């Protein structure tokens, strides 16, 4: 077996101080063997804040579990860990966690330009997209995708002085 955290979503979306956030964590067994009952835990600023037991998962099985946290002011690092008790022998023991830093980063597109500037039919066009983090915490690795003629396009990132330039 091999447990990973596919995603973490939360409500309310703006995480207002003084309210309780509900984090929904999707745990996925990407291995070829079943996983018995296991524990999903989360840590706030390095201290355990809670856990939930995840039911057994078949190969390629998923489970979505909810964890709550009373939102407090200041910067926080929240780490979600699948198989927190380390009882499941896995293919990869290093891919069991996902980290969220609060307050959240705020990525905005500050520039978008095509090259060549006036393309003709049949030209190859390079789109340069500049993202700026206007939030109060660092971003994690980010994938920028865009729609071009109703298809998804994945762009490659390069970091430049507080900005991320996508080509």
Residues making up the chain, counted from first to last = 167
Element (H, E) at 108: strand 107-115
pLDDT at 166 over 50: no
pLDDT at 10 over 60: yes
Which pLDDT score is estimated for 8? 94
Tokens of 4: 């990973």
Tokens of 98: 């996902």
> 54-78: per-residue pLDDT in tens?
999 999 999 999 999 999 888 899 9
**C-alpha distance from residue 44 to each of 24, 47, 121, 144 (Å):** 16, 5, 53, 28
pLDDT at 114 over 50: yes
Element (H, E) at 63: strand 62-70
Q: How far apart are the first and last CA of the chain?
A: 37
């Amino acid at each position: 077996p091999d447990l990973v955290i596919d995603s973490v979503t939360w409500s309310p979306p703006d995480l207002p101080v003084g309210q309780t956030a509900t984090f929904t964590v999707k745990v996925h067994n990407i291995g070829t063997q079943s996983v018995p009952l296991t524990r999903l835990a989360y840590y706030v600023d390095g201290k355990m804040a809670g856990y939930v037991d995840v039911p057994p998962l078949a190969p390629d099985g998923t489970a979505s579990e909810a964890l709550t946290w009373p939102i407090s002011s200041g910067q926080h690092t929240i780490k979600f860990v699948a198989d927190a008790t380390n009882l499941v022998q896995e293919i990869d023991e290093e891919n069991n966690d996902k980290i969220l830093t609060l307050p959240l980063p705020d990525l905005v597109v500050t520039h978008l330009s095509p090259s060549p500037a006036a393309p003709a039919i049949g030209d190859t066009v390079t789109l340069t997209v500049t993202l700026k983090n206007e939030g109060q915490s660092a971003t994690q690795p980010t994938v920028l995708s865009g729609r071009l003629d109703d298809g998804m396009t994945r762009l490659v990132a390069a970091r430049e002085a507080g900005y991320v330039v996508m080509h």
